[in-house]
Structure 1
């Protein structure tokens, strides 16, 4: 997520040490401590202040030793032309490995790597900063020959990390089968892995999809990133939107007045990338969903500028498929949701949509920007970070840790069907892959069914800080330091805090660790409370507090871990080779498209590759 304008120059590691000396400190009541001054590191651990993790390490004598943290993201060491290499990261203390000046010489174990932006390496740096003694693993989500992230790749990544002994797994992934109204493939995989290992814990980025109402409008400052209704309301389509494929269109009016358009004025340039439409019908293993919908966007002259159809007939999702659609200037647009197929035209499935590419600078003023009647406006967290299978983590800037980032996705989540846990459809996997092989037999048949009552889940569950320094990843600030923003940065910070807790009290159960993590969080300010959004669905229980968490744990029954070798002062900073023009951080670029071009929406969770494009628009 872009934070500041980029500086077109090459940075040496030596310059990073200068930047750390002038970086602003955190403000606010929750910033109880300043970043640890570790002479063996070039780059300070800025998250130590707001998360009180340096205090926790010192007071309880732990550093994560004995705990293994697995990371799932796009790539670790494949992106060309970056400011540092993994070896250089080790030499300046940002990663563990032979020659680490702080004495942490067990290298990151890369179990599988693939093309990407090396965001996974940046996540590893953040985990290592808070829990330097933890063993680190990495597995890429990978892509297929068409450049798609699929559940098969995610299944493989989870499988590799579990087999290698991960105690905690943190991800920033999002893919097509993360559903709004049903637990999908990723949730099922995590649920199965957690059932097989009662100590395994998952953390996930909640997403960067929140959008605020444009200043000076009736919805100024209000979350307006999504719109949903519990039952489809059919109405005749506008004449200018008819192409002969539609049965009818959605009535956006909460009073049933027959308004087939969702008018919206955008406050900044945007794209249709990341536009999503989900409807409440269960995912299948091949047969088409009973209904099919299409989201269409028109300009003020009613010219079609883009459409998001259903790409996979077994999946109740419509999305914009082009990786680089046209840039849409700020202005007036009309959205139409057309029903293009229905096995039963009397069916009235719930509808949820998130229009446009969402980024920090983007605002909009929708015609229906306030919850009214049965319709709900605002929730943007979905999939496994919203469904309890992973602890969803929101984001707050490390310098202002008592308020969430404007882009940090909010809840609640909702489930209307029993979870999907069948083998992957043949067109998704090269061969059928049972999602829960230890529980299901190959011949078992499971059909998702409507739940007796909807399950409403709070999301995110907790908040971590972002905007802290890495050696190479993120936007440059005015001191030329690289700052990693988004929930892809906050999630590894909270996962690292849990590594400290597990290291200190290894006998404490997963359920108790989760409860105490949430209960000991530092209170935060909910900026949307005035609009009726509950704290639990904006900031979770608050900002993760490492010291308070460890203080609440029972004393360990074993001796404290042996500290690492005495730190040594880092060698003279190495001048890095020029990397050419400042590379725009393409967060998870490898996962732009999923399943024959269906966009994977990332960095809830959500998600990184679109953030790179957001950076271009926000400059």
Structure 2
């Protein structure tokens, strides 16, 4: 299926002209501790209030703002920095007309409130307010019916002994539980037996404002632990409210196990933010916590800052090695120096990336959030392919004023050059960005992408393994994560390297309504680490019951039981790459695109003197995949780069069951040294979706006819030694082995 659909991306932002919004740095009259994104909205509101309200929903270069029901007040964080009295600031904010939604003393004190745009300047200047920053709509890790995880995670033998979650309370946090009014509704699921009637909801979204992904998560849990007691609270009313709901699910509902699938774009990379601290709090109180690792794949970047002076950068442009128009950003004070992306002897101050659909990017560096300790001002500058600076897509906050080592942007579909610039002489040196839940490709990528509360010490980060192949999904986020500061912003004596994800669980399983197309059983298939996290959490409930019930094990003991008993998952040392060697024929598959015309390359060795390739056949029957030549949901056979052979000499045919592709070459046309690139979509056979990584071709049978002699082989991956790895952790949860490990 289409790559962008497979990752269930956020909708692309409505493009507004550059004339409508000046880059934030131009708004010199507004307080610098008002985030640049809010400055854009406030400045527009002063000229055209209705346009500002529309921009809260769709604004070029930024994710969607969370806002009130009328759509006129954005949800914001008023960050106090640990020095102001929270109650007194709340009183001042109410006097300014703000509606307080949630408060916390975590993270130095944060107030979540709906901000009247006409009061933004006054609020930013209130005593005790360190900064005012927007709250963006968070991302979910998406990617009568029984989940396939019951079999793959070896749950049936446990249920047959009478262990089905009795006495254990499990809670989920996501967008909503019963917000959707489209059938089947939550009430329908209760009537069909897919959910219990006694489910507790602490907070939900209003009608028709959520997708009910939380309900889908609870369906997966209920299939594995059908005798457990279930609870829910939304994570979509802001980060502070999310943190408070994590705590409430333990303190009010009494959850023994909690799971979520949500990431906020401003969660710190190098320290534990308020959500991670909330996870640690409930874990210390006895609740095991399981969070989705994320669907960020290998779409991250991590490096030490390698400075190139502005003068040296201009010389690179003059030499023709860069096409960037840098004079404007230098003149505006956005760049004293630029980052060199090239880790070798060369110099490259831009990173070329291609965005397949709207891409939120969170860029951060090694300083603590909201505690008065940010000294470095980095900017994430976006240039188009021709080298023109695109200010409305760039992140240019005054980070010392906002007290956040953070720039957030959202890029529409296209090709861009990213430039990381330093606007002052601050000390921070480690830089990192993650493209969240999206399809981004380009140079210098491959850094760790698991971050935020998913890496909290008190919880478990969960990756996704597809039930049909028992291999990691290509989109599952990779670790590790490095924490450099304590919760007071003090540097740690040594980096706290967190080996995440710790576990993997099944995705692609069935629910009554969510979220992909129907699988072989006629029900929708729920993909992503959003599905994996609740599947792991449900097994934890079985482990708790098997050990003696609530409180019989600490969260750490639950985690140890799951990790030590997990089914090992092969770790691919060359991700998104597979080869079939049938000397003198070499067939290579590379990437994870569904529509790359050069995904496959077949070549005949130049040493094969006097030989010609007559035919090539690829059979997917042993892989759980099928070819999808559809022009609507897939990608038909397409030739790519051809060397030594002409397109007219190539004929392709598919078997009726879509399992086998055969290429025939005109006699004598494909000789030594010739090669042909070609592409065609691959899908999981059970769901007719996903299945695009080259790694999934493992054991696909290949035959080639050379000089009328048939050669046979198969696609192979290169796997590392068994044990922990940064994609699947300790492996796939095994309910049967884990329960046996803890039974008295």
Deviations 1:476-513 (A, max 9, x none): 13655211111010000000001011112132333222
Query: Scaled by the length of structure 1, what TM-score is found?
Result: 0.66
1:46 to 148, 173, 178: 148
Change (3 A) 1:280 1:461: same
Q: Does 1:542 align with 2:611?
A: no
Structure 1 distance, partners of 2:280, 2:498, is 16
**Equivalent in the alignment of 1:407:** 475
Deviation at 1:412, TM superposition (A): 0.6
Alpha-carbon distance between aligned partners in 2 of 1:232 and 1:139, rounded to the nearest angstrom = 44
The question of 1:151 aligning with 2:240 is answered yes
Match of 2:157 in 1: 55
- Change in 2 beyond 3 A, CA 1:54/1:193: same
2:532 alignment counterpart: 490
State how far apart, in whole Å, the 1-side matches of 2:398 and 2:729 are: 34
* Equivalent residue number for residue 393 of structure 1: 462
Shift of 1:3: 4.3
Task: For 1:235 and 1:412, locate their aligned partners in 2 and report how far apart those are by CA, in whole Å.
Answer: 31
Partner of 1:245: 333
Task: Compare 293-302 and 456-465 and name the one that shifted more.
Answer: 293-302
CA–CA distance in structure 2, aligned partners of residues 335 and 226 of structure 1: 13
Q: What does the per-residue CA deviation read over 1:59-89, in whole Å, with 9 as the maximum and x for residues that have no partner?
A: x311101000111111111124x23111110
Would you say the 8 A contact 2:184–2:513 is kept in 1?
Answer: yes
2:388 counterpart of 1:303: yes
> Is this contact kept in 2: 1:309–1:320, CA < 8 A?
no
Deviations 1:536-589 (A, max 9, x none): 21110000000010111133xxxxxxxxxxxxxxxxxxxxxxxxxxxxxxxxxx
Task: Return the alpha-carbon distance in structure 2 between the equivalents of residues 532 and 353 of structure 1.
Answer: 27
Displacement of 1:258 in angstroms is 4.0
**Is 2:288 the partner of 1:201?**
yes
CA distance in 2, matches of 1:365, 1:327: 13
Secondary structure in structure 1 of the residue aligned to 2:380: strand
**Residues of 2 paired with 1:156 and 1:521: CA distance?**
30
Shift of 1:449: 1.1
How far apart in 1 are the matches of 2:407 and 2:440?
23
1:569-612 Cα distance to aligned partner (Å, 9 max, x none): xxxxxxxxxxxxxxxxxxxxxxxxxxxxxxxxxxxxxxxxxxxx
What is the CA distance between 1:349 and its match in structure 2? 2.1
Partners of 2:719 and 2:560 in 1: how far apart?
Answer: 28
1:444 paired residue number: none
Aligned to 1:283: 369
Describe the superposition over 1:367-410 as per-residue Cα deviations: whole angstroms up to 9, x where unpaired.
x34xxxxxxx4211011222423100000111112x10000000
Whether the 8 Å contact between 1:208 and 1:487 is mirrored in structure 2 is yes
Distance 1:235 1:228 in 2: 21
Structure 1 partner of 2:190: 90
For residues 260 and 363 of structure 1, the distance between their equivalents in structure 2, rounded to whole angstroms, comes to 19
- For residues 295 and 150 of structure 1, the distance between their equivalents in structure 2, rounded to whole angstroms, comes to 24
Q: 1:65 aligns with which of 166, 177, 200?
A: 166
CA contact under 8 A between 1:309 and 1:318: conserved in structure 2?
yes
The separation in 1 between residues aligned to 2:5 and 2:459, in whole angstroms, is 26
| Larger relative contact order (CA 8 Å, sep ≥ 6) | 1
Contact persistence 2:145–2:523 (CA under 8 A): no
SS of 2:247 mapped into structure 1? helix
Among 425, 442, 455, which residue is 1:365 paired with?
442
2:277 aligned with 1:188, yes or no? yes
State whether residues 369 and 404 of structure 2, in contact with CA within 8 Å, keep that contact through their aligned partners in structure 1. Answer: yes
Are 2:246 and 2:278, in contact at CA under 8 Å, matched by a contact in 1?
no
Could you tell me how far 1:157 is from its partner in structure 2? Answer: 4.1
**Structure with greater Cα Rg:** 2
Q: What aligned pairs does 1:564-575 form with structure 2 within 5 A after superposition?
A: none
Q: Quick one: which of 427, 437, 448 aligns to 1:347?
A: 427
* Residue 95 of structure 2: aligned partner: none
What is the CA–CA distance in structure 1 between the aligned matches of 2:398 and 2:179, rounded to whole Å? 30
Between the aligned partners of 2:200 and 2:230, the Cα distance in structure 1 is 6
**Structure 2 regions of 5+ residues with no counterpart?**
9-143, 315-323, 575-717
Say which SS state the counterpart of residue 195 (structure 2) adopts: coil
* 3-state SS of 1:291 partner: coil
| TM-score between both structures, scaled by the size of structure 2 | 0.56
State which of 510, 513, 517 in structure 2 corresponds to 1:469.
510
Q: 1: CA distance between counterparts of 2:179 and 2:426?
A: 51
Is this contact kept in 2: 1:233–1:348, CA < 8 A?
Answer: no
Q: 1:210-230 CA distances to partner (integer Å, 9 max, x unpaired)? A: 14xxxxxxxxxxxxx111113
Q: Deviation string for 1:179-227 (max 9, x for gaps)?
A: 11111111111212222x2x3111100000014xxxxxxxxxxxxx111
Q: Which runs of 5+ in 1 are unaligned?
A: 6-41, 98-106, 144-148, 212-224, 370-376, 421-446, 556-619
How many angstroms apart in 1 are the aligned matches of 2:196 and 2:188? 11
CA displacement at 1:303 relative to structure 2: 2.6
Deviation at 1:288, TM superposition (A): 6.8
Give me the whole-angstrom Cα distance separating, in 1, the residues matched to 2:437 and 2:248: 32
Say if 1:348 and 1:289 are closer, same or farther in 2 by CA, change over 3 A.
closer
Structure 1 or 2: larger strand share?
Answer: 2
Cα distance between partner residues in 1 of 2:412 and 2:741: 52
Say if 2:380 and 2:407, in contact at 8 Å, map to a contact too: yes
Question: d(CA) in 2 for partners of 1:304 and 1:399?
Answer: 45
Instruction: Note if 1:327 corresponds to 2:327.
Output: no
